[in-house]
Amino acid sequence: MASELNDGILNIERLEAALGKRPFRFLKTVGSTNDVARAWAAEGAPHGAVVVTEMQETGRGRFGRHWQAPSGTALLCSTVLRPPKTTPPATRYTMAAAVAVRNTLLELPNLDSACVKLKWPNDVHIHDRKVAGILIEPLWNGAVLEAIIVGIGINVRVPFDLPELRQSATNLEAHSIPNIDRARLLAALLNQLESWAARAEGLSLFQAWRAALSTLGRHVQATDVGLGTRAISGQAVDVDEDGALLVRGEDGKVHRVFAGEVTLSKPKFE
């Protein structure tokens, strides 16, 4: 899939060869692929259309955090998904994107299900270090959900020179092979994303997402954005089908963390 040793700067010709008839827009440098995809979706971009760039100047992650990688070192894209009339909760698309990224990475040499895991809710890790991030943003037309914008950033060969970064982040080529073909990686990722998004309402998606979580069974510090700055310390015991993390706090009660931040503070419980 992505094992050719000839990766260079992305361009329209390489993307056309890899993506076939899939609609795409390629910009060498862009503020945010999610912003471009959102505008394109408002203009009528079809389901599966994708925006790709070599460098984001104002890329963002969850809760508005800045996200940037040197040109040519990451796979940066945003895909337009058109939900069905019976729209699943947006959290299901978060699950779909996370599972899609993980399954795509599992097709690469030297990577397996034991080392590629998900940190709740949607960070993709290799050996407990972040290799990919996902940002889901809805596009509303009044009360109608017109589209879901799925922004994905994968560290392919992003250098992490500072020791504090090397402890929390990594890149694909440090664990797989050199010169991963990012155009072919993108094609495989988009196929996985469409496949799992089509199962957004089903039990199989939830089961695949839950089984891939490294968070469960671990001691965590969780901050739920719905509760302001209140932090919950305890054991992550499970997740529910809406995507919430269930944390048994030090008070013995199980707290439902729906959208927030989680810090893994201890190894897995035996």
d(CA 134, CA 23): 21
d(CA 120, CA 225): 14
pLDDT at 160: 85
Per the structure, how many domains does the chain have?
2
Q: Do residues 101 and 205 share a domain?
A: yes
Q: How far is CA 177 from CA 42, 77, 170, in A?
A: 39, 22, 14
Q: Which residues contact 129 (CB under 8 A, 6 or more apart)?
A: 166, 167, 168, 169, 170
Q: How far is CA 61 from CA 17, 28, 120, 174, in A?
A: 29, 20, 15, 23
pLDDT digits (tens, 9 = 90+) for 167-183: 899 999 999 999 999 99
Residue ranges of the chain whose pLDDT lies below 70: 1-6, 58-68, 162-164, 225-229, 265-270
* Domain end point (choices 212, 230, 254): 212
- Residue 6, domain member (yes or no): no
pLDDT at 94: 94
Strand order in the sheet with 231-239: 254-257, 245-249, 231-239, 218-224, 260-268
Q: Do residues 207 and 238 share a domain?
A: no
Whether the CB-CB separation of 87 and 179 falls below 8 Å is answered with no
pLDDT at 265: 64
* Domain end point (choices 175, 195, 212): 212
We report the CATH number of the domain holding residue 232 as 2.30.30.100
- Residue 3, domain member (yes or no): no
pLDDT digits (tens, 9 = 90+) for 102-135: 999 999 999 999 999 999 999 999 999 999 999 9
pLDDT at 229: 58
pTM beyond 0.75: yes
Give the number of C-alpha atoms closer than 13 A to the C-alpha of residue 79, restricted to the C-beta side: 27
- Residue 7, domain member (yes or no): no
Q: Within 10 A of 219 (CB to CB), how many other CB atoms are there?
A: 16
pLDDT at 63: 41
Domain housing 232: 218-268
